[in-house]
Amino acid sequence: MTLLFVFKLLLVLSVLGIAAYLLSARRYQSSESVANSYDQWTEDGILEFYWGEHIHLGHYGSPPRSKDFLKAKADFVHEMVKWGGLEALPSGTTLLDVGCGIGGSSRILARDYQFDVTGVTISPQQVNRAQQLTPDSVTARFKVDDAMQLSFPDASFDVVWSVEAGPHMPDKAIFAQELMRVLKPGGRLVLADWNQRDDRQVPLSFWEKPVMRQLLDQWSHPAFASIEGFAENLEATGLVQGTVVTADWTQETLPSWLDSIWQGIVRPKGLVRFGFSGFLKSLREVPTILLMRLAFGAGLCRFGMFRAIRTDIAAQKSASHSQQLTASSQ
């Protein structure tokens, strides 16, 4: 009788938990809804406590190996610098970090590579926290800005850098245009993102559709682009020299999902620090993290890497004009 009662109680609690999870989804409504979500996550300090200053996935090597969770996140920045060909750039190189969070990547880029970094995020609370964490000796500044309509003039930066910001962008073509617009001619775009499998090639299956729906609704995402689709968006701007180079870092980053849950187990001080309400907030994110692990592990989602060089339109026009003159004189 007692076992039956316990089973029924667990069943009822499970049903209530699932209902609460689905009904409390943070669906994308506008850039303001994204800002509000990140303001809340920053104000309570829970995300920073468990995920550290780098609110993105870690790099565990190829093939992946066991690694400290926070070290893997810092390693990701260095691996992305190498992959993007940024190591040889001189001190003082101007870099825009689009979707900078609380500035973890920006500080590494400024401190370890002597770049002159500007970080932008839609969240005022993230800007405040980034400023608090950044010493005066580090050349990184932060401001509130909308990646769909960046406040900077054309050709402002030597490098544009972005990590996992794309899923929050409602129009990927406009996002791509803005990233390339603020690059100087010859400047480099280096971007990492969560991507959906290209459903033009392999449509989503019956179980993938509801999983994808939750990945969008729970964390204020309007849509995931595919790696192929976003590369096309970048090239369609007419500002890319040659072609966009892409890579898939799914395997290198995959351990991050379960590792993030493990942090809540091996760091019980969080329960003391944030109390029972903090525990419930943290517990609420576990289903989404597990769905992310499922999606990336099963091929529904991929971790895309993108790099591109901004073309010099004036030089292109001049070369084209010279060719026309040469052809007409023959």
Residue 224's φ and ψ, nearest 5 degrees, are: -100, 135
Looking at residue 179, what is its pLDDT? 98
pTM over the 0.85 mark = yes
What is the rounded average pLDDT of the residues 191-205?
Answer: 96
Tell me the pLDDT band of 108, cut-offs 50, 70 and 90: very high
Surface-to-core class of residue 135, CB atoms within 10 Å of its CB (0-12 exposed, 13-18 middle, 19+ buried): exposed
What is the rounded average pLDDT of the residues 8-26?
Answer: 59
Residue 11 has pLDDT above 80, yes or no: no
DSSP 86: -
| Domain boundaries along the sequence of the chain | 26-312
Looking at residue 318, what is its pLDDT? 45
The count of residues in the chain is 330
What is the rounded average pLDDT of the residues 216-225?
Answer: 93
Surface-to-core class of residue 37, CB atoms within 10 Å of its CB (0-12 exposed, 13-18 middle, 19+ buried): middle
Rounded to the nearest integer, the mean pLDDT of the chain is 90
Return the percentage of the chain with pLDDT > 70, whole number. Answer: 88
Scored b (16 or more CB within 10 A) or e, 60-95 reads beeebeebebbebbbbbbebbbebbebeebeeebbb
User: What gap in Å lies between CA 158 and CA 85, rounded to an integer?
Assistant: 13
Q: Helix, strand or coil for residue 176?
A: helix
Residue 193 has pLDDT above 80, yes or no: yes
Task: For the domain covering 26-312, report its CATH number.
Answer: 3.40.50.150
Place of tokens 């992946």: 64
Quote helix, strand, coil % in the chain, to nearest 5. Answer: 55, 15, 30
User: What gap in Å lies between CA 301 and CA 142, rounded to an integer?
Assistant: 31
